[in-house]
Amino acid sequence: MTIIRNKRAVGFFSSHEEAEDALNQLREGKFPMDQVSIIAKDTDRFKSNPSEYGVKTSAVAGGAIAGGTVGGIAGLLVGLGTLAIPGIGMIVLIGTTAAAIATTLAGSAIGVIAGSLVGGLVGLGIPEDKAQIYHDHIVNGSYLVIVDGSEAEIIQVEDILRHKGIHEWGVYNIPASRNYLEPVVSL
């Protein structure tokens, strides 16, 4: 049986501890952690000595960094990146969906054109007004949690995250991707 991951749920926690506690609960519930991402404003503790947190870095386009772990949260998820965003500063992106935002923003001018992180979130299928709310909370130090999954998986996650106090929870459709080549028409 094939599970279609066509939903994306997003919300935020006000602190590192709340986010880490919620992710631990998801892991203990056997939720696939490769479907979870975190975006947060980079703090001085991440910048001051990345190796202290087990960060292994490799350069990618535009100064983003990938690989390794940072503290307890990154140890729960796959991949780590940092990216300088105008108007925010450095942000930490952990997980596959967050890495997609980093790659998009670092590899093109879309971030500047579409409002930086807001544009990246809109590209994930989040309405612009909600993307702005999430952006503002990241700027103020909150931890944005993004979960991709089927409707059943999102319901499972929602129960856990609501119990842990997630704010501004929203469920959105994942935009269809174009995984095919346009037909070539010759006359």
pLDDT tens column, 2-35: 556 689 999 999 998 899 899 999 999 999 988 9
Q: Is the pTM of this model over 0.75?
A: no
Tokens of 172: 């959105």
| DSSP string covering the chain | -PPP--EEEEEEESSHHHHHHHHHHHHHTT--GGGEEEEEE--HHHHH-GGGGT---EE-GGG-EESS--HHHHHHSS-EEEEEETTTEEEEEESHHHHHHHHHHHHSSHHHHTTTHHHHHHHTT--HHHHHHHHHHHHTT-EEEEEEE-HHHHHHHHHHHHHTT-EEEEEEEPPPP--SPPPP---
Q: Where are the domains of the chain?
A: 7-151
Q: What is the mean pLDDT of the chain?
A: 73
Say how far apart CA 139 and CA 15 lie, in whole Å.
13
Q: In this structure, is the dihedral angle defined by the CA atoms of residues 131, 134, 138 and 140, taken in order, positive or negative?
A: positive
Task: Taking each helix axis as running N to C, give the angle between helix 16-28 and helix 151-163, from 0 to 180 degrees, rounded to the nearest 10.
Answer: 130
Count Cα atoms within 13 angstroms, Cβ side, for 31.
27
Percent of the chain with pLDDT over 70: 59
pLDDT tens column, 130-185: 999 999 999 899 999 999 999 999 999 999 999 999 999 999 998 876 444 444 44
> Facing residues of 144 across strands?
12, 39
